[in-house]
Every structure is written in structure tokens, then in C-alpha cells.
Amino acid sequence: MTWLLLAEAAVPEGGLFDLDATLPLMAVQVVLLTFLLNSLFFRPVGKVVEDREGYISTSLADAKQKLEQVQRLEAELTEQLRGARQAAQAAILEAEQEVDNLYREAIATTEADANRTREQARREIEAQREQAQSQLMGKVDEFSTKIIQRLLAVS
């Protein structure tokens, strides 16, 4: 091994398990590094990460609350919509009934009118026919008396 040849009076022999002042100094160095990294790395990065975690959780809670609100409003609106639909249905039904009623009424009055007019016409016709018949009868009577007079005069 080379280090055996290089061993001199002042310089220690070295070797794998050579414990010396490197140990405490390294310990001090690691402790210093701990403090340095604490202020440069762990604290600032931790703050950012935890701030973000807080931000995310509050945002999430906020969003949940808003979602709840939206769902409540939606349910309310659905209820309103159903009411409105029912009202519309009722209005349509009512209007249809009314139209039906009006239609029937109109037909009934028209029919009654027509009947009355027909009746009147029939009665007028009857009266005229009767008049005509009586006139005709008068004329027949007149003619027959005339014929009888003529015949009597001739004979």
C-alpha cells in the first residue's frame, strides 16, 4: 500500500479508520449547515407550501359553500318552475274550457235563431197559403155564380 511508503514522522499514517479532528469539525459543519438550510430552505419553502395548502383548503371550503348555495338556489328555482308550469297548465285548461263554452253557446244561439226564423217563415208561408186559398175560394165562388147567372140568362 502506498500510504505506508509515504508515512513520515510528522504526517500520520492515515488508513481507513483514521479518526481525528476531522470528526468534530465535520459535526460543527453539519450543525452550521443545518442552521443555514433552516433559514435558507426549510423555513421559506415551508412557509410557501403551507400558505398554499391553507389557500387551497380555504378555497375548497369556499367553493363547497358556493356549490351548496347554488344547489339550494337550483332546487328553489326548480320548485318555482314546477309551480309556473302547473299554473300554465291550469290556465290553458281554463282557456280551453272557456272557448268550448263560448263555442257551444254561440252554436246554441245560432241554432235557436235559425229555428225561430224557420218557424216564422213557415208560419208566413202558411198564412199566405191560407190567404191565397181563401182568395181562390172567393174567386171560385164568384166564377161559379157568374157561370150560373150566364146559364140562367141563356136558358
Point out which residues bind other proteins (CB under 8 A).
1-3, 6, 10-12, 14-27, 29-31, 33-38, 40-46, 48-49, 51-52, 55
Angle at 36 between CA 32 and CA 41, to 5 degrees: 145
Query: Measured from the CB of residue 63, what is the shortest distance to other proteins in angstroms?
Result: 17
Residue 60 C-beta: closest distance to other proteins, Å: 15
Of the pair 49, 84, the CB lying nearest other proteins is at 49
Single-letter residue type at 111: E
State the DSSP string of 36-96.
Answer: HHIIIIIHHHHHHHHHHHHHHHHHHHHHHHHHHHHHHHHHHHHHHHHHHHHHHHHHHHHHH
State which residue, 15 or 138, has the beta carbon closest to other proteins.
15
The set of cell numbers assigned to 15 is 488508513
- Considering beta carbons, is residue 40 or 106 the nearer one to other proteins? 40
23 vs 151 by CB, closer to other proteins: 23
Nearest-approach distance from CB 1 to other proteins, in angstroms: 7
Q: Is the dihedral of CA 94, 100, 104, 106 positive or negative?
A: positive
- Report long-range pairs for 100-109 (Cβ below 8 Å, ≥24 apart): none
CB-nearer residue toward other proteins: 36 or 77? 36
Shortest CB 57 distance to other proteins, Å: 14
Minimum distance between the CB of residue 65 and other proteins, rounded to whole angstroms?
22
